[in-house]
Chains A and B, each alone.
Chain A
Amino acid sequence: MKRPSIRTQLLKGTTPLLVLTLLRDGELYGYEIAQRIRERSGGAFAPSEGSLYPTLHALEAEGALQADWRNSDKGPKRRYYRITSSGGAMLAEHEKAWAEFSTGVQALVRP
C-alpha cells in the first residue's frame, strides 16, 4: 500500500478547520471548496478530494453544516453547504486548538 505523504497526513486532521473557515464566508459546494482551499493556500496544498466529502458529510451529520440542493450557475444542481451556529462554535474550538497546536509545534521545531 502506498504510504500517504507527510503533507497529506498533516492536512487530514485540519480539513474540518479549513472547510468550516471557508464556509464562514458563504455557502459553497464540494468542488468549490476544494478549489478555494487550493487557491487560498496559493496552491501550497489541497485536501484530498477523497477525504473532503467524508469530512463534509461528517460535519453535516454532527449538525455543524447544513446542505441543500440548488441550481448552480454552471449547470446541473449542486449540493451547497453552509455553516450553522453549531458549526460556528465548532470552528472557534478548532481555531483555538489549531493555534495552540501550531504554536507548540513551532516552538519545538524552531526553538
Chain B
Amino acid sequence: MKGRRNTARRDTPGASSDAMPELPAAAADFLDQLDADLRLPARDSIEIQEELTAHLEDSIASLMAEGLDEERAASEAVARLGRPEALARDLEAARRTTRRLFAGAAGGVFQAGVGALWGFFVGYLTLLLAVVVAALLLTTVAKPPVDFLAAHLPAFDTNSNDLGLNAIFVAFVLVFAAWFGARRAVRTTYQVSRRDVGQVRTAWAVVGGIGLLGFVLFVYSAQQTWLGVAAELVVPTAFVLGALKFDWKGAIHLPLWAMLSIVVLSVVLPVVLVIPLSTSGGGGGRLPEPLQTSPSPAEVAYDRVAPLWGSNTGEVLGADSGTIEQQSIFDMRYSHLNGPALNQFSNIRLEVWHGTSLPKAEAAYDPELVPDPSYGAPFLSRSLSPTADGALRIHLDLSKVRANEWVIFITATGPDGHRYRLNYPESFWSTFHGTALDWLTASD
C-alpha cells in the first residue's frame, strides 16, 4: 500500500521542486509522525524530512534487493530508525548546541533592534495616516459632536495637554517598535538556536519585558506627565505581547484581534485612568473647585500668604537675572531696588506655592498665576540670606515635583515684628524631568 507524503516543499538547501516520492504507507506514516513530533524551525524539519526520505528510499530498495517485498522492506527500514518520537527528541537535542544558543541570543538582540527600527517607521507612517484621517473627520462629519464635547469637557492646562498628547503619539509609535522588535527577536533566536519556541517566546517576553520596564522606570529620563508615564509603561507591554504572539505550529496564542485589543486597551486604559489623577489637587489640570466659577481676586489674594510691606517697598525686590535648565531648574538673583535695605528684616524666607491660573478676564493681577487655594501651605519654604551686595540668590530645582505651576514669594519678619511679603509674586511653569519611577514616587 502506498502512503502519501504531505510535507510542503519549501526553499531548503536540499529541497527540490520535484514532487515528493510516494513511499510505502509504513514509511510515510513514520515521516508524518516524525514531522509532528519535531519541535524545530520549519527549515530544519523539512531538511530532516528530505534526508530521511532519501534514507528510507535507499534502505527499502536495498532490503527489497535482498528479497523482501515492499511492505516488509518498508517496515524493516522504519524499524531500523527506531521510534519517531525518540528520533525527533534526539535530532532536536543534536541541533540545540550551546554555541547556537548564544548565536541565537545575539542574533535576537540584533534583530530586536532592526525590528524596532522597522516598527518605528511603520508606526510613524500609521500615525501620520491616522492624523490625516482624523483631521479630515474632525473638520467634516465629526465636527458637531467634537464641538459638543469641547464645550462640555473640563478645561485642561494647555502645557500639560501638549505633553500628554505628545506622549500618546510617541507611545503609539513605540508600541509598533516594541511589537516588531519582539517578534523579530523571537523568530531569530528560535531559528538559530533551535530551542523550543515556547521557551524562546517566554524567555524574550520575560527578559525583554523586564529589561524594557527597567529601562523605562530607572534609565529613560524625560519630561513627564501622568499621560507620559502611562505611555512609557505601555512599551514593555507591547514587547511582551509581541513576543508571545509569535506564530508557530501548534503554539497556543490569542487571535490577532484579541492581541490588538489588549494593546489598544493598555494605551487607552492608563490614559483614561490617569486623567482624573493628573487633574487632582494643584496639578495644573482642571481648575480646583473654588475656582470653577469666576473667582474674585480676593479669594486668591496674596495677602493670604502675607501682607505686602508698605508702599515704599513696593519694588523691594525684582529678579534681574536667571537661567533655566530643562525648564525646571531655576537660578535667580533678586536685587534690592528702591526699598528699604534687607537688613531691616529678619528671618527672610523663600516660599513656593502651588499656583493656578486665573481666567484671563478675572486676572487683575500680574502674574497670571495665583496661589492655589486648595493648598494651605507653601510647597517649599527655605531660609534666605542676603549676599554682600544686598541681593538674594535663589536656586530652585522643581524637576522632581509633579505639579508644574508655581508662585514664588519672599517673606520676612518686619521691624514691627509682623510677617510681610517683600515681593510681587513671580509665576513659574516647570515641567517634571526624570524617569517614570521618579514620577511615580514624587510628591505633588
Contact of B51 among A30, A50, A55, A74 (CB under 8 A): A30
A94 in the interface (beta carbon within 8 A): no
Q: A76–B18 contact, CB under 8 A?
A: yes
Closest to B14 in A: A69
Kindly supply a per-residue 1/0 record for chain B positions 46-65, scoring 1 wherever the CB is within 8 Å of any chain A CB and 0 otherwise.
01101110110111001000
Does B347 have its Cβ within 8 Å of any Cβ on chain A? no
Which residue of A is nearest B77, CB measured? A49
Known: A30-B51, A76-B54, A79-B54. Contact between A53 and B95, CB under 8 A? no
Q: List 16 A-B contacts (CB under 8 A).
A: A29-B54, A30-B54, A31-B55, A50-B87, A51-B90, A53-B55, A54-B87, A55-B94, A57-B91, A61-B94, A69-B13, A69-B14, A76-B18, A76-B54, A77-B50, A77-B54
Residues in chain A within 8 A of chain B (CB atoms): 29-31, 35, 48-51, 53-58, 61-63, 68-69, 74-79
Other-chain contact of A79, B50, B83, B91, B94 (Cβ < 8 Å): B50
Q: Which residues of B contact A (CB under 8 A)?
A: 13-14, 16, 18, 21, 47-48, 50-52, 54-55, 57-59, 62, 80-83, 86-87, 90-91, 93-95, 97, 99-100
What is the bound-complex CA distance between A57 and B95, given in angstroms?
6
Name the one of B14, B47, B94 contacting A54, with C-beta atoms under 8 angstroms.
B94
A61 to B18, CA, bound (A): 28
A48 with B82, Cβ < 8 A, contacts A31-B54, A58-B94, A75-B57 known: yes
Minimum-distance CB pairs A-B, first 10: A50-B82, A69-B14, A54-B90, A58-B94, A57-B94, A31-B58, A54-B94, A49-B80, A61-B97, A79-B51
Contact B14 A77 (CB under 8 A): yes
Residues of chain A within 8 A of B86, CB atoms compared: 50
Closest Cβ of chain B to A52, distance in Å, is 9
> Is the CB–CB distance between A74 and B58 below 8 Å?
yes
Q: A49-B80, A76-B16 are in contact. Are A61 and B54 (CB under 8 A)?
A: no
Least CB distance from B7 to A in Å reads 14
**Inter-chain contacts of B13 with A (CB < 8 A):** 68-69
CB distance A53 to B54 under 8 Å? no
Docked complex Cα distance between A90 and B151 (Å) = 80
Complex CA gap A79/B58 in Å reads: 13
Contacts of A76 in B (CB 8 A): 16, 18, 21, 54, 57
